[in-house]
Chain A
Amino acid sequence: MSRENRLETLLGRPETWAEPPAEVETRILAGVAGSARPSISTPGPVRRRVWQVAAVISTVAAAVAMVFAFGLLGEDDADATVFTVSATGETPGLEGTASVGAAEAGWWIRLDVLGLPPAPSGSYYEGWVSNSTDTVSIGTFHMREAGGVALWSGVDLYEYQALFVTLQEEGGGHDPSDLVMLTSDFAGLQRGPGSD
């Protein structure tokens, strides 16, 4: 096969042109932000870089975070603060916890909830944090695999202390639905000695 034909064959393969879903980049950046990796960066620029990273991730995510299995990313729970997750009228009997910790950029949030069923076909769960003026998505999930659910927030949880999870209809828009499944309150989140 000539060089030209070989190149033409390669260029005609549909997979060559396939685009990754937009959320893949968000997942990766959130994984980087939420996981511990031995770093050889010098201490000086790190603090500044945290905010650069936060800005990048916030832009990429467009205030929408990601979901990933904990077995995949393995957050460190050592500095987590654990809050109770409460059921609502939609989910009587559910109980669980929300573990919250500061990541290199943003915050990671892990939900461990007993009894939350997989989202019905055509729907998904979405986590949100809010304050008196604003509500921000922290990720979506389906509960189709066992284990905890990890979410990530690019906004400061000292400022957004109400968490809730809604059941969303696919294609149903970008605002939280009225079907609130779980709630939690991070009001007890304490600023650490090194926090701004």
Chain B
Amino acid sequence: MVVQRQASGRITWMDRGVLEQFRDGDALAVKAVYDEFGGAVYALSLSVIGDRDLAADSTQLTFLKAWRAASTYDPQREISPWLYAIARRTAIDIYRKRAREVVSEDIEIVSMPPGLDAAWEVFEVRAALDRLPDDERSIVKLSHLDGYSHAEIGDRLGIPIGTVKSRSHRAHQRLAEMLRHVVDT
């Protein structure tokens, strides 16, 4: 696995060989890309659409569209922005289609989804979270999503509070590094 730092400071983690295989339509590479970005695409889709079932459909469509368009992808570039663009467009289309169905087939809904502003951030943050080691990721989740204190996390995981603090510190350092381009925006 090759970790490369881009000029922007971003870190990309997909092996170039895998990305070349993806461009060539290799199903194994599609799985590798899904393993890396499936959670991020789903999180983005849910953020935009606000419905879990439709977000799942949108995720499926995103990867199939990406696979079909993969010959246009340049493996020398990061795949993340390219995949994000497909995911965002797909989620918007599904959101609008549902909005037309809910309101009226005769009314053209031109408004953008309310969750669209945060879509890119959600995508990037989730992709970064999925790159954390499991023991650090679980602590970040328990802390930020579930609202547990370090002491409570230590109790739940059966580890000393000092270990929780050190893992949490490392995790936030990694996240700050991976997400510098997001939080500095």
A interface list, Cβ under 8 A from B: 3, 6-8, 10-21, 23-25, 27-29, 31-33, 35, 37-41, 49, 52-53, 56-57, 60, 68, 72-73, 104-105
17 A-B contacts, Cβ less than 8 Å apart?
Answer: A3-B184, A10-B179, A16-B47, A17-B43, A17-B145, A18-B42, A18-B43, A20-B41, A21-B56, A29-B27, A29-B30, A31-B67, A37-B68, A38-B25, A40-B24, A41-B24, A68-B60
Determine how close the nearest CB of chain B comes to the CB of A45; give it in whole angstroms. Answer: 9
Q: What residues of B have a CB within 8 angstroms of the CB of A68 in the complex?
A: 60
Q: Which of A14, A24, A49, A105 has the most CB of B within 10 A?
A: A24
B56 close to A3 (CB less than 8 A): no
A32 close to B179 (CB less than 8 A): no
Q: What residues of B have a CB within 8 angstroms of the CB of A23 in the complex?
A: 56
B60 close to A24 (CB less than 8 A): yes
Interface size class of B (residues with CB under 8 A): 35 or more
Q: What residues of A have a CB within 8 angstroms of the CB of B118 in the complex?
A: 13
Query: Mostly helix, strand, loop or mixed at chain A's interface?
Result: helix
Q: What residues of A have a CB within 8 angstroms of the CB of B39 in the complex?
A: 19-20
B183 close to A7 (CB less than 8 A): yes
Query: Beyond A7-B183, A13-B122, A16-B125, is A32–B27 a contact (Cβ under 8 Å)?
Result: yes
* In the bound complex, CA of A13 to CA of B123 (Å): 12
B34 close to A25 (CB less than 8 A): yes
